[in-house]
Structure 1
Amino acid sequence: MFSTHSPRAASAYQRINVETSMHTIDQHQLVSLLLQGVISSIAAARGALARGDVVAKCSAVAKALRIIEEGLNTALDRVDGGELAENLGALYDYCVHRLIQANARNDDAMLLEVQRLIEPVAQAWGEIKKTGAAPAAEFTASARPVLQEA
């Protein structure tokens, strides 16, 4: 009557659990999770690259790209966000470009570069919640990417 394991049922349960938790967290927490997701995905890609696991590397880079493009970049308030949103948008666009290059070239240095660009943003974002206000000038300066063409 009951099956011991149903991947479909487990997947449905997991989706419901994720959707429920998404409704109970605030926007600040959601952005924090997205930023941490990018950092974790890049770390996974770097580990897979070091092991020579091309499939895992591609999967991890694809996950980081989706989080940046579909989560972080689309969440920016480009109307009222001013210079901060503009700078973060430029940073995210640059990171997407570099992740694509890193994936194509199997370049750990590019993956590390993106990780090092996202980490201070994640750290500054965490500080916003602690202080209750955004130190806009410091955050804007730290979010401005150093653009370089490869």
Structure 2
Amino acid sequence: MNAMSAMRQYQTVNTQAQAVDATPHRLIQMLMEGGLTRLAQARGAMERGQIALKGELIGKAIAIIGGLRSGLNLEAGGELARNLDNLYEYMTSKLIQANVKNEVAILDEVSGLLRDVKSGWDAISE
């Protein structure tokens, strides 16, 4: 096992351990952090012309946003939950567009939106 492989395994175990101990509030933060990381990685892959990797990372970001969206309680959450649902739907469609058109600006737009949602979420105390 090389050093990079060992490091990835350690990070996976560390992330899994954090998830086991995490509150629901922290789990949402971790999802948002993961989404932002995948978007940054996809941007790098796009800039380097790594098309397959870019597509894989955008797919992971879409899956994370889907997870955030499926966690919304549209009945109890009222207008805020509906607005977030619409925003997550918009972000997903923009990511598909970014992948097809190979446009960094669209990735940046979605990253900015997700950062805005995360800063609001971070401001909520547990």
Report the TM-score, using the length of structure 1 for normalisation. Answer: 0.73
The answer to whether the aligner puts 1:125 opposite 2:124 as a matched pair is no
State the match for 2:62 in structure 1.
Answer: 65
Which residues of 2 match residues 101-116 of structure 1 at below 5 A? Answer: 101-116=97-112
Query: Structure 2, unaligned stretches of length 5 or more?
Result: none
List per-residue Cα deviations over 1:82-136 (Å, max 9, x = no partner): 011001000000000000010011011111110111111111111112xx6xxxx
List per-residue Cα deviations over 1:26-53 (Å, max 9, x = no partner): 0000000111111111111110011111
Give the CA deviation at 1:75. Answer: 0.3
Which residues of 2 match residues 41-60 of structure 1 at below 5 A? Answer: 41-60=38-57
Query: Which one has a bigger Cα radius of gyration?
Result: 1
Give the CA deviation at 1:24. Answer: 1.4
Q: CA RMSD in A?
A: 2.2
Is the partner of 2:124 in helix, strand or coil?
A: helix
Higher helix residue share:
2
The answer to whether the aligner puts 1:98 opposite 2:94 as a matched pair is yes
Query: Structure 1, unaligned stretches of length 5 or more?
Result: 133-150
Which residues of 2 match residues 81-92 of structure 1 at below 5 A? Answer: 81-92=77-88
State the match for 1:22 in structure 2.
Answer: 19
- Distance in 2 between residues matched to 1:54 and 1:120, nearest whole Å: 28
User: Where in structure 1 do 4 or more consecutive aligned residues deviate above 4 Å?
Assistant: none
Q: Which amino acid aligns with 2:51?
A: V
- Distance in 2 between residues matched to 1:61 and 1:29, nearest whole Å: 23
Give the CA deviation at 1:23. Answer: 2.9
Number of aligned pairs? 120
